[in-house]
Amino acid sequence: MKIIMLGAPGAGKGTQAKKIAEKYSVPHVSTGDIFRANIKNGTELGKEAKKYMDQGQLVPDELTVKILLDRVAQDDCKNGYVLDGFPRTIPQAEVLEKALSKLGEQIDYAINIDVPDETIVNRMSGRRACISCGATYHIVSIPPKKEGICDTCGNELVLRDDDKPETVRKRLSVYHEQTQPLIDFYEKRNILKSVDGMIGSKEVFEIIVSFLGE
């Protein structure tokens, strides 16, 4: 099972990708989480990625594509994966498609979570993220059991550097310009499934399961 999560920043891609990964026993592969782990560990890749991420810009395709292809070539991805935050540009989608077709494989579903821009800025200011395992919470709608602590791994939750309202607005405009065209790209390949992301995260997941099967 190979799945792509599409949607604006804050639409709930990470929230749903985690649940899908757990239910269907496939890894959750988030390019954003990979970059953040590199930033935390002070790697060269992290330093380079941070320049773009803090501005709400995309990390260049050359860098991102290599990281992603290396990741999905690992052993734990042989039965599939959920991609969260990749592809984010048409060239990224084309590279992925080519790499898979060389292996005789393809993406099974692209799931688009639809949330209007006005809701996004609000959601982001209440988001708390775990840098260790990538879990995300919301201080009002999806709080952790213990304030400031990740339910899954027990590490500290933080407000992401790129969740400031002005950076979120920039990320939204980059999304509309560079990422939204992917909805059409996957629609044409007949693998697009869209879900309204304004309902509760549990309900969103139920709809996704209805697409993917029990």
> Does the annotation mark 71 as catalytic?
no
Q: Least distance in Å: CB of 32 to Mg ion?
A: 5
Q: Please state the closest distance from residue 24 (CB atom) to Mg ion, in A.
A: 18
Under the binding rule (CB under 5 A), the answer on residue 14 touching Mg ion is: yes
- Residue 130 contact, options Mg ion, ligand AP5, none, Cβ 5-8 Å cut-off depending on partner type: none
Which of 160, 169, 170, 193 is catalytic? The answer is 160
**Is 88 an active-site residue?**
yes
| Options 18, 36, 123, 171, the catalytic residue | 171
Comparing C-alpha atoms, which of 141, 113, 145, 107 is closest to residue 127? 141
Q: At what angle do helices 61-72 and 31-40 cross, to 10 degrees?
A: 100
Alpha-carbon distance 146 to 149, whole Å?
Answer: 6
38 binds, options Mg ion, ligand AP5, none, Cβ within 5 to 8 A by partner type = none
Active site annotation includes 127: yes
User: Contact positions toward ligand AP5, by CB under 6 A?
Assistant: 7, 9-15, 30-32, 35, 52-53, 57-59, 64, 85-86, 88, 92, 123, 126-127, 136-138, 141-142, 162, 171, 197, 200-201, 204
Q: Toward Mg ion, which CB reaches closer, 14 or 144? A: 14
Strand partners, 195: 113
> Which helix or strand (DSSP H or E) is residue 193 part of?
strand 192-196
Tell me the C-alpha distance between 41 and 130, whole Å.
15
Strand (E) or helix (H) holding 130: strand 127-130
| Residue whose CB is less far from ligand AP5, 26 or 129 | 129
The span from the CA of 103 to the CA of 61, in Å, is 22
Residues noted as catalytic: 13, 88, 127, 160, 171
